[in-house]
Structure 1
Amino acid sequence: MIGIMGAGAFGTALAVALALGGRDVVLWARDPEAVARMKRTGENPRLPDVPLPENLTVTDDIGSLAGDFPVLLAVPMQKLRDAVRDHAGVLDRRPLVACCKGIELTTGRGPSQVLAEELPDATPALLTGPSFAADIARGLPTALTLACAHGPCAEELQNALSAPALRLYRTEDVTGAETGGAMKNVIAIASGAAIGAGYGESARAAVMTRGYAEMVRLAVARGAEEHTLAGLSGFGDLALTCTSTLSRNYRFGISIGEGQSFDPNVTVEGAATARAVQEASKALGVEMPITQVVVALIDGKVDMETALGMLLSRPLKEE
């Protein structure tokens, strides 16, 4: 049995993939009306034309997640703490896999740190890497990173959460995986802004490359292994998110570059993460010029021309 908290596109996609892989899956949603609609139509409107398998149970009863089986937490980063705190009695003392990417704005903590603080008797893990919900749900080949500091549990989770087209690689460097997943959203905003402003593909490549350097600096300063960022949770996710309009963060960046408004109902994790990263980098003494520019753009303190000038006027140095 696998439990999933959060019936958004990504949580539902994971539920579908695991169910088709032969697992019995319980997918919990907090909205009874959404649950009733999914039961009635056999699909989630956030994933149109993707049938829900028979061995996937959709429910709004949090008690359905009770047990000793793993639970995937497919909720936004900024709502993770409240979600596990509200349902601590059901979630504690078991493997919990955060499926969100980012850094908590109020504390500077990553997903696994939030889980460890709120549920100290649980075993925290992280599922991250280059993936779109639609690809996973349709069985398209996808590779992800499973980060867990507890080796035996990591192996069990790797086996439990793998599916025919969903390949998981495990690492014990949770901090590195978390930092990559958080930073790629920030750099995706910058990459989208470069394209939206008409600066071209070469400019985007430069933003991605120098953004990767920022990602590595921050991760190492937080205690991560540098090589982790060269994997799926770092470089892999960066490459996907900075180049596809399926990425909400990239589309948000494009809207900034074009000077257009963006749908406020669409969650853009990179916006809050950029602010959290900026504060964390100050405390750690890490230089993060692209992140600083992204925050300034989001807050409307600079326009694209000024932002470009801020980056191009930096001192020349070795790469």
Structure 2
Amino acid sequence: MRIAVIGAGAWGTALAHVSAGCGHQTRLWVRSPEVLASLREQGENAVYLPGVALDARIAATDDPAWAVEGAQLLVWAVPSQFVRASLRAFRAHLPARPVVVCASKGIELETLAPMSRVVAEELADLEPRYAMLSGPSFAREVVRGVPTAVALGCEDAALGREVRQALSSARFRVYTNADCRGVELGGALKNVIAIAVGCADGLEFGHNARAAIITRGLAEMARLGVALGARAETFQGLAGLGDLVLTCTGDLSRNRQVGLALGRGQRLADILAATRTVAEGVKTTGSVQRLARELGVAMPITEQLHKVLYEDKDPGRAVADLMTRDLKDE
């Protein structure tokens, strides 16, 4: 199979490595000249995955037309807020009924659309067939060959099985799930909770607080997911609980690192300026806060985190306000 991966950040690079390792002809579209040069000259992504050797069969390019030429599977792995613009840029080069696997985790800030809706809207006349890839998967560990299991949300069972077979290996196991909306929302919402957990850890509140935020955060995720048409049980699986635990506790998590820095007293603008990687949860918090208000879904952790990120509220005060809310049943 020929597979095109769009986006050469850490996650896109890791998925290209998985694809090439499965024996597919793999083309990786790269926007950054610096990243492209390192891929071609050093066989690694020196910006996002420095020091990690990649499969030599990956063909890196900055040419959109060549990247997708003849591709039977398109893996979209650009930051979520740029998915719409990138689809528009590539649209003229895509065939009819393209198969798009979206690996971007987020909710569009301007429209509050999940990524599946963005794909459906932008490629409507091409009649795209699409799936959403999510689950506990640090890119650096995937490239190192650490055993990893992820979820593929796809309403078309036959297509889901085809993609699952194409991307699975002895080190990268793909589970299919017909609840496409739940899979994509789990991947987006867990980033918000991971920042909150990072804040608590940065404040040195300990394991009790971490466990409480993860557990109550999962409840928030499921409530919003159900309101948006997802199944509650999906949030107990890889794309929900699995990804949530990984992102909240693993120090490779960019969202957790943002929270840690906030809890230690750093300003958000300074934190974001110091890194080239994207912490999706920062912007997703804004989207989720608006969605929760519009739908009347109670999300107290998200609400307090929004005040920390966008209203300069002290993280310690935010935790205190969470702890002194009206008492209620679990």
Partner of 2:55: 53
Partner of 2:10: 9
Partner of 1:249: 255
Task: Say whether residues 1:299 and 2:300 are aligned partners.
Answer: no
Report SS of the residue matched to 1:270: helix
Q: Which amino acid aligns with 2:49?
A: L
Report SS of the residue matched to 1:87: helix
Dislocated runs of 4+, deviation >4 Å: none
> Aligned to 1:169, which of 164, 172, 175?
175
Q: Deviations over 1:45-103 (max 9, x none)?
A: 12233333232111111112122511101100011010001111223521111111111
Task: Say whether residues 1:200 and 2:206 are aligned partners.
Answer: yes
Equivalent runs, 1:1-319 vs 2, <5 Å: 1-45=2-46, 46-64=48-66, 65-91=68-94, 93-120=97-124, 121-261=127-267, 262-264=271-273, 265-319=276-330
Is the Cα–Cα contact under 8 Å of residues 21 and 164 in structure 1 kept in the other structure?
A: no
Cα distance in 2 for partners of 1:266, 1:20 equals: 25
Cα distance in 1 for partners of 2:33, 2:323 equals: 52
Q: Tell me the CA shift for residue 17 of structure 1.
A: 2.0
Report SS of the residue matched to 2:75: strand
Q: Which amino acid aligns with 2:102?
A: A
Q: Which amino acid aligns with 1:312?
A: M
Q: Tell me the CA shift for residue 42 of structure 1.
A: 1.8
Report SS of the residue matched to 1:54: coil
Is the Cα–Cα contact under 8 Å of residues 18 and 167 in structure 2 kept in the other structure?
A: no
Q: Which amino acid aligns with 1:27?
A: L
Q: Deviations over 1:157-195 (max 9, x none)?
A: 111111220000011111111111111000001000001
Is the Cα–Cα contact under 8 Å of residues 65 and 90 in structure 2 kept in the other structure?
A: no
Q: Tell me the CA shift for residue 32 of structure 1.
A: 3.9
Cα distance in 2 for partners of 1:281, 1:314 equals: 18
Quick one: structure 1 residues 84 and 280, their matched pair in 2 at CA, closer, same or farther if it must change by over 3 Å? same
Is the Cα–Cα contact under 8 Å of residues 130 and 232 in structure 1 kept in the other structure?
A: yes
TM-score w.r.t. length of structure 1 = 0.96
Aligned length: 319
Consecutive unaligned residues of structure 2, counting only runs of 5 or more, are none
Consecutive unaligned residues of structure 1, counting only runs of 5 or more, are none
Q: Which amino acid aligns with 2:84?
A: R
TM-score w.r.t. length of structure 2 = 0.93
Q: Which amino acid aligns with 2:37?
A: A
